[in-house]
Structures are given as C-alpha cells and as structure tokens.
Structure 1
Amino acid sequence: MEFTQRQIAVGDGQAIQMRLFAPPGRIKAGVLIAAAMGVSQTFYAAFAGWLAAQGFLVATFDYRGIGLSRRGGLRDLDTDILAWARHDCAAAIAAMDEQIDGRPLYWIGHSLGGQILPFVPGNDRVAKMVTIATGSGYWRENAPRLRRMAWWLWYVAAPVATTICGYFPGRRLRKVGDLPAGVMWQWRRWCLDPDYAAGAEGPDARQAYAALALPIVSLSFTDDEFMSARNTEALHGSYSGAPRRMKRLAPAEVGARRIGHFGFFRRDFEDTLWRCHLLPELV
C-alpha cells in the first residue's frame, strides 16, 4: 500500500506525523482515522489502504508522544487527552480539509478516537462519525476480563508507575503502551467517573457531547474484552443531540471465531466487516 507522510504543525509549537493514502482515481470523500489509546497509526495501514482503493482519501495520524509523532522521552512532554483533541485532531481535520476540496469528511474513531470528537475544534466539518469498539471507560462497567484488573491498574499500577517514571511505562508493564503523564492522569480520572469524560471534565464537557449533532454509527462487538455493552451504550448516550445507530455484532455473524477490541482492523474482515458493515456508512 502506498502513502505519503507529512509533518503537521499543531499550533502550539508541536507537530504530529500524518500519512495520506490516496485513491487511484477521483476522490469520493475524505476519511480521517482517529486511533485508540496508545495505538500507532501504523496499526491501521492495511485498513486505510483498502479504503483508499475504494475511492477515499484516507489519513492516519499519531497524537503527540505516540508512534511516529513521538520525539524522544516522554518525561518532559506536557500534554493530555484534551490537548490531543484541541490541537492534534483539529490540525488533522484542517489538513484533510485542504485536500478534499469541499467533499464530505468522515471520522472513523477507534475506542478513544470515538470519544474525543466533541472536544475537537472544527468538528462541524465532519459529515458523519463511525465509532469502532468505542464506549465509556468507566471501570465498574468494563467487560469482565478488564474489570478484574482495572482496580489494580487505576489505584496501584498507574499512579505508582507514573509518579516514579514521570510517564506511564505501559510497554514494560504490558498495559496499553507508553503514555505521557498528563494523558494517563486525565484518562484515570475519566475511567473512575461513572459518566467518564462528560462527568470528569464538568458541565462544559457534558454540553460538548450533547451539542455534537452529526450522524453517528456505532460498530461494537459482543466479544470485546474491554468494552461491555453498557460501556458502549453509556458513551453513546452522551451524544444526546446526534442521530445514532447502534450495531452490536457477534463474531459468528461474520463467520469469525473472534473480533475483540482490535480485530475489526485485521485484513481478514475485508469482505465482511469492512465491505458489508463499514463501507455502506460512508455515503
């Protein structure tokens, strides 16, 4: 799969890396893929290349401190999730807007990527959001497998490791991946609040969720090891001003043994999840 890579200034002295996957002919629309927490844009390359072959100009990008946008150590990186949204995601939308000449722009948000659009300046440029395996991270409503370890993560591992190291050493702990300290502290606050970001960030955040008015399609999976059905319903319930369509799929419905939290983006699902369940939404 071919792509071009470029550096995008994000307006506060920082920059992120973006990859553009261009279609072979006329551009139908733009697609911006917003990654899950701690996941590099390289994870989405096969999916982005396939979408480009369907006629879309597709962009992937890394939040500052993550993947290709990481520059050196994380101890001195002063950022949090809201900075990712307000600066990095906003710059990604602006960069795509320059490329697609007024055509529709679709936002595909994987997990965290489907949670943060309300905080992104310029989100009115997005025609539709498709969320993949996205829900609230409130730990008491997590899927059983995650809930068993969530208390230890949020009350022991995360605060202790982040304080000692100056960032969250997730790679060494085999949890999520390395994250800037500000990101981890803020994410922890969200996951400990029953209303997740809408509760932890106060009334303005709740209003931002309610104010998002674009159509939203949720694709979630019964075997997601992180997000329960309740997580998914709770997060999308915050989008009270948006027309929402919820599709919860079992692996057997697409002839698979497993999908989980990350499986949607495997090329194995090109003819099922990608072509049958995702592509019809990008119209």
Structure 2
Amino acid sequence: MIAPATGIKRQFYANFANYLANNGYGVITFDNRGIGGSSIGPVTQNSASLQRWGEKDMPAVLDCLQQEFPQTKYHLVGHSAGGQLIGLMHNAMAISSMFNFACSSGQLTNMKLSYLIQAHFFMNFFIPLSNAMFGHTKSQWLGMGEPLPKSVAKQWQQWCNGQGYVKTAFGKTVHQHCYNELTLPSLWVCGG
C-alpha cells in the first residue's frame, strides 16, 4: 500500500508501483478524497480532511488490498502524511511493516531554519489567505501538489503549528487511534 503525501496524486508513485508489481508484489496506489481521481465536484465544496484520510480513506484502501491479495502480509510505504496517518487507521494492526520517506513529525518548530521560513509562510500566511480568497488552498501555485480542500489545509496548518502533529487533535477531533499500540517494524528515511 503506497500512501501519498498531502496533495500528491497517485500517478507520482506509478514508476515505483510498477517496479514493485514487476517484482512480484501486489501494489495499490490511491488518491485521497479531494485529490486527483478522488475529487468529486469543485474543490471548494469538498469536506475532506487529513483526519478523514487516515480514518476513512487509508483503511478502505487496505481493505481493497486485502480483498485482492488475501492471506499474505501487508506493508505500508508512506510518503509524508501517508505515513503519519497510520495510527488513525482502525485496521492498522493488519499492516506487517512500514517504510516512510519524507515523513517528519510535521511540527514547524522541529524544522531546520533554512526551511522554517518557507514553511511558516506557507502554513501561516498562504493557507489562511488562499482559503479566505478562494475557498480552498491553491497549493499548486507554490509547487506543493494539487489544490487542497479547505479543511485539509486548515487541519494541516493546525497540526504543524501544534505539539506532536496528529496528537494536537487528540481529545478534540481525534477520539480513537492506535498510535500507542503500533509495534510493527518500521524504517523512516528523511532527507536533510
């Protein structure tokens, strides 16, 4: 299961998915709701959120993978949010291992100074302004993937400004998760 980064379409992962498939792996890529092929209607009317991606989209994709390839081991390759949201999946315990790349804590205060200014501009100026002016975030203008539904971008901004990314929403909007129970082998690769 190749889980995408925020605003990144499944086509971005096509070459990697084809490589895995040609080497005997069953592979599934997907667009989260509100992105690419999973976008229904105008982006301004889409109620998707990061939380829904983790609670609804990712579990549904894993269910499809399990139906297509029953009685085997399942592995998650997560890119950024695609790895960060695993603990919101009600069926995450079915995943045997996880490999995440460019999947940091998301917290702005943990970022290097060289990237921190850009990240603050995007999160705390561009997202609110774009949401107010257009009803969604025109992230494509800054090379940050596809246009983002308003609630995705707003939640991304809140989590990156909070303490512990998804943990920021614990007890507020996130009432069930399995982050504390996950013990699967994992490898995290982040560029410098």
* Alignment TM-score, normalising by the size of structure 1: 0.63
Unaligned stretches of 5+ residues in structure 2: none
Measured in 2, the distance between the counterparts of 1:49 and 1:207 equals: 32
Measured in 1, the distance between the counterparts of 2:176 and 2:187 equals: 20
Unaligned stretches of 5+ residues in structure 1: 1-31, 223-283
Match of 2:6 among 26, 37, 40: 37
Match of 1:52 among 21, 27, 32: 21
In the TM superposition, what is the alpha-carbon distance from 1:169 to its structure 2 partner? Answer: 1.2
Structure 2 match to 1:67: 36
- Does the 8 A contact of 1:134 with 1:220 survive in 2? yes
Instruction: Please say which structure displays the higher CA radius of gyration.
Output: 1
RMSD between aligned alpha carbons? 1.7
In the TM superposition, what is the alpha-carbon distance from 1:149 to its structure 2 partner? Answer: 1.7
**Structure 1 segments (4+ residues) deviating >4 Å:** 203-207
In the TM superposition, what is the alpha-carbon distance from 1:143 to its structure 2 partner? Answer: 3.0
Match of 2:170 among 198, 202, 213: 202
Measured in 2, the distance between the counterparts of 1:193 and 1:219 equals: 23
Which range moved further: 209-218 or 36-45?
Answer: 209-218
Q: Partner amino acid for 1:201?
A: A
* Alignment TM-score, normalising by the size of structure 2: 0.92
Q: Which one has a larger percent strand, Structure 1 or Structure 2?
A: 1
Q: Partner amino acid for 1:148?
A: I
Within 5 Å, give how 1:151-162 maps onto structure 2: 151-162=120-131
Measured in 1, the distance between the counterparts of 2:113 and 2:61 equals: 35
Tell me if 1:214 matches 2:184.
yes
Give the 3-state SS of the residue equivalent to 2:45 in structure 1. Answer: coil
CA-to-partner distance for each residue in 1:210-267, whole Å, 9 max, x for gaps? 2212221112223xxxxxxxxxxxxxxxxxxxxxxxxxxxxxxxxxxxxxxxxxxxxx
Measured in 1, the distance between the counterparts of 2:81 and 2:16 equals: 18
Tell me if 1:146 matches 2:115.
yes
- Does the 8 A contact of 2:58 with 2:89 survive in 1? yes
Within 5 Å, give how 1:166-245 maps onto structure 2: 166-198=135-167, 200-202=168-170, 208-222=178-192
